[in-house]
Chain A
Amino acid sequence: MAKPGTARTAPPSSHAPELDRLIHERLRLGIVSALAVNEALSFADLKKLLNTSDGNLSVHARKLEEAQYIACTKTFEGRLPRTEYRLTAAGRRALERYLEHMEALIRATREA
């Protein structure tokens, strides 16, 4: 909840300073959203669900992992490696904040 000390000089309709850019990116937002409603999803599940490529998914998943928004476990199913992702508490909070942020944006334009 710690709000960075951004200047309050911006017009009230602009909530940009609070925006979490980490999950603002489309695919990363998709990963977090999909994991929010599943205990865990494999790399293959996510790829199919978000309709993206291996490379793209792994790049963005790694970004989220570095921020500790998601946790990754690698296991072996027979000889095939299986990567599973879960949403962390920090990731869930980030998504909630993001949703609140979007709501605020909509409310602000409605009131303007």
Chain B
Amino acid sequence: MRALDALARRTLVARPLRTILTIVGIALGVGVLVAALVLNAGLDAAAERSVRDQLGRTDLRVAAFEERGLSRASLAALATTPGVAVVAPELERRTYPVPDPLAGSGLPVPVTVIGVDPAADAALHDRPLASGSPLPAGGGDVILVSDALARADGLAVGATITLNGSVESGPRAFRVSGILAAVPGDPDPAGRSIVVPLQVAQTLFSTDAVSRADLGLTPGSGVAAVTAALESRLSAEPYTLTTPGELIADLRASTADFRAMIALVAAVSLFGGAFLIFNTLAMTVAERARDVGLLRAAGMTRRQVTLLVLISAGHLGIAGVALGLATGVGLAAAVTAYVSPGGGVLALRELVIPPAGLLLGALLGFGVTIAAALEPALRAGRISPVAALTARLEQTAVLRARLRWLTVVFAVVGVAGIALWPGAADGSAGLLRPLAVYGLLLGVALVGPFLVGPLGVLVGAIARPFLPAEERLTRSALVRDRSRTALTVGALAMALAVLVALGGVAATTRQAATAWLTEVVPGDALLTSVRPVALDEPQLADLAAVPGVARLSPIGRFAVAVGGQRLDAAAVVGADLLSDGRLVLTAGDRAAALPALDAGGAVILPAAVADRLGLPLGGLLQVLAGPEIVALRVVGIAARTIPGSSGEAVLVGWPDATQRLGALGADVFAVRYVPGQAAAAAAALEPLARANALEPASLQAVAGTIGASVDRLFALLTALAVVALIVAGLGIVNTLTMNVLERVRELGILRAAGLTRRQARRLVMLEAAVLGAVGAIIGVGAGIVAGAILAALGAGPGVTYDPGLGSIALALVGGVALAVVASVWPASLASRIEIVRAVQYE
């Protein structure tokens, strides 16, 4: 065994560049896998920590469904429910600080105000202070401000800040009694939160309701029993009940798509690394066939020969995995650093390195390495001394064996990928996406050998007029070892397929996220409010009277309860949508449906919701509104409506929204300008809007902001997918080098017959360009289909798949460019062949 190990090491050391390339390839493949595992752990930890920060020691959270909030009656019912020890109510509202007159004319950045009962709050939540003192039990006009707000607005303990309240209460001044320590999970998107006594907040916002109540249960009380007790007692208005575990699960589910993409990229990278191992060992076996024959003739058994190759693979695997673990942690650290300032759906806060994840990554990486080495090792064991001396290419047998190997390795890698894929553990529905995508990629790899020939001829035909000699010789080079060429092309095609799929999903996601702006919003611009604006507030008339403003259409987003589920809803003016030509219905008559909303008793459903609830046109949507059920007739089904916090919103008219469903007002106004007067009207409207705490933005600006956040996420995934492409590039270097080394004598003869060094170099580079082009064509085709599968299964109906032409063009050009760059060294090798030595080469 020691002798075999020594021989294996010498074989690896004899080809240092090839060995290093292979180790780097494995490291990159394992690196992306480990990065995926580390990021998953980080996301899990971030979700848990976020919920802990939000809920503290809360056992159950009762949240209001409607904008009106939970009433006193509901709070009283909570307090008297058996098993409930502590009720900590909170009122959460967003508002603007009163702007500094010396500052510019823009609106100040809004803040989130949280009103709490200090005594009850302290029982369930920790609000550590960086300085100052906590809220007094008796209330008063004192507040705690977050660390981010204090630093941004220059607030210290004792400073005064004036907040805008409701129209009725007006602005109110507060003294800062304490500054909260900087902890993650601030309820305000920008970390600008203020904690005030509950009664103060209720007075400021002219309400006696609360947004939610956190409950601490008596020791020994079960959540299920308390939940059952609450169901009979809470009847004043609809509510949701959430446990910390359910919140954590929701947060984890919100990152499912990101994790799925990472898993896909990791699987493809790992496969690329496996191919490098295979290629390297296949090269070594081919080069050493005569040596192996001699060893066999001298008495080495088949088993010992197989073991020799596997030991080589083991060394490569150990080195590659070790480097891969470090690479993976580094990649994860880079992703965390990139993502954490932005927050959003990826609430990564810190790097979490799970020992179990590292072990899993190491074992999977090593396992794939050995699986990749099996075929070359077994083939080496089958070399007979006679065959070694008269080695012939047996194309068909080699191709069959390699396709078998390909299926085995892909199965191993596929298992790894599915294990990483979120939702796969949830059963058949969760498995469908990864199986479909992996099945497609495996199909690409298996079909590749049969496409390389014809596609290669087609692509080579383009080069023929310019490089006739090189093109003819390239064709023979590509079919020299069809299976190796096919695997090289396959690895490249898969990496490019992932890139194209990501591009398509990104484009589709961007389209889905912004399409509502052009298809539903009846205006040229939006005015956004942090609080619901009642439709009879006087400033609206002033805004609508600005010259050049044709119309101000209110849109109010809120939530409704249907059959125990939370649904997003939006109040719109049907007449405005009708006159603007907006909102496409897939069922129902627009001319009748939109006025029906304004008349009341009607609803328009987005197609996804209609499908989910099984409601046809003419059906009844039964909405729980307080103690009553409000039945709304479905007068239309739309391809797309306005997005809510968890899906597309059902559309109702304002009469139903305010009088029956608890909506308080509009949070967005769509502004339609008179044609030709938009610029002047906007210039007059915008300062007036800001003065009334309404933030103006053009539809393009809103689309740009949404698009930018989508692009940021996908840029990250694309960067990781580029790693898979690099691994494929290393595979091309390996293959082309092998092709050159196998053709040393042939190249020598060609040089003797008059092939110049430049022609020899161009020969190899053209070979690479053809490989790259074939890989790009196959990869782009597979990528478009994979992207369509991912988009269709993820986005649901009503979304048109956009293949992302930019990604396709980049993949086509990039595939060829990568291959040509990868060919630089092998081409140089070919051009430097010494003719005399080459023609005597055996």
Verify that A and B bind, or say they do not. no
Residue positions of A touching B, CB distance < 8 A: none
